[in-house]
Structure 1
């Protein structure tokens, strides 16, 4: 059974409202020991996320007016550009450097995930959207927790015994449906080592794919031997 976001998320997380001021946001980040906070509207719905990076825009650009020789870091200059109509890059003022409230500072709209989403789905969403954390929301977009990349790593902390039990279930099922299987498995620090024999090479490959899907499995060392290589196309002479 795959773990869901609800199994690994952090609950009881702090949030700020759209009108929360810059200093209060910074203080909350420090007090809570987190790098980002969800922003909720008057109805309690998550509308954005404000992070340390959002607040640091002000630091990057604060000397611009005082010192005409000041040149912001490359990442800051890149963020001061956006894509306009037709894909043309156009300049804009660095709004976040002048922002004073969460509504002005936050990244919006919020990229969120539901509690019943699979951990792998959350991981793919983070990778696809380039974010490090996701607010977890209910059916009404209300905040119920936060899940971070670090939280997702918890699925790999399962004991070798629990992984071995799941591996053995797959082997037992295979032995009951495919003839000619004699397989043993050992698990050490999440690595599964397979030994024994199967009739077809394809059976060995299928088992490896199935075991790699088990949560907590780091890798599969397949040392199985086979009697018939049904993956190699037969040679046809001219």
Structure 2
């Protein structure tokens, strides 16, 4: 059974699958220190027209990330009186708060980072899995060297959900795995592919999942595939897989 990569090659001959973060990231990064005041953070976001920025220590190592939603509400209450910013205790790792007076108090930590040699498709999957819109890019010593955003990655893919669905159905299921039409239904939402249906053999399930991951534009695969016992008879029950990197 053939199981080679299924790839869409844009003009220029370089597969999207092979593009790296270094090719799409921003090298000149707007950043903050942990003692940067919240008001200055808001000013930086407005001036540079960005929605978030990394927070680094004295060695340029990433400590966390601040987004607009992490910042305190603008000064001024319902009656027009100035709002008071109050410090809050440091949060557990991986959480964020809407109040605080400095970057160190409002940032989300630890930051999710990538390296420049990582593939764009892998960075996109990390964003989807970790529910983040930007990834600081670090060197081998974890020092900040750039940043990549969801928009950067979307510029590379430029594929609609329908284009992805058609390639999975036609190339992966139809041509590579020779699955009869109608046996497996393919749906795609925001680059996440869901496979529902029956395959002849148990080994066909990981093959279908693996080939689907290789289709350009795919950032996640949810498998609700089942296999028929011995290739015939009723499908096995309880075969619900969700793939992760």
TM-score range, shorter chain: 0.5 to 0.7
TM-score normalised to structure 2 length? 0.53
1:17 counterpart SS class:
coil
Q: Using the TM superposition, give the Cα deviation of residue 211 of structure 1 relative to its aligned residue in structure 2, in angstroms.
A: 8.0
CA offsets, 1:92-148, max 9 Å, x none?
xx9752x22111121111111111122222222222222111111111111121112
Structure with higher Rg: it is 1
TM-score normalised to structure 1 length? 0.54
Which structure 1 residue ranges, 5 or more long, are not aligned?
Answer: 68-81, 84-93, 159-188, 218-230
For 1:119, the equivalent position in structure 2 comes to 120
1:39 counterpart SS class:
strand
Change over 3 Å in CA distance of 1:197–1:49 after alignment to 2 = closer
Aligned residues: 169
**Contact kept in structure 2, 1:155 and 1:215, CA below 8 Å:** no
**Contact kept in structure 2, 1:2 and 1:215, CA below 8 Å:** no
1:42 counterpart SS class:
coil
Q: Counterparts of 1:205-224 in structure 2 under 5 Å?
A: 210=211, 213-215=214-216
For 1:5, the equivalent position in structure 2 comes to 21
2:128 counterpart SS class:
helix
Distance of 1:46 and 1:208 partners within structure 2: 34
Distance of 2:22 and 2:149 partners within structure 1: 12
Q: Counterparts of 1:219-230 in structure 2 under 5 Å?
A: none
Distance of 2:53 and 2:175 partners within structure 1: 53
For 1:128, the equivalent position in structure 2 comes to 129
CA offsets, 1:187-217, max 9 Å, x none?
xx786577x999x659xx9799758724369
Distance of 1:10 and 1:143 partners within structure 2: 11
Which structure 2 residue ranges, 5 or more long, are not aligned?
Answer: 1-16, 82-90, 180-199, 219-229, 235-245
Greater per-residue helix proportion: 1
**Contact kept in structure 2, 1:48 and 1:110, CA below 8 Å:** yes
Change over 3 Å in CA distance of 1:232–1:40 after alignment to 2 = same
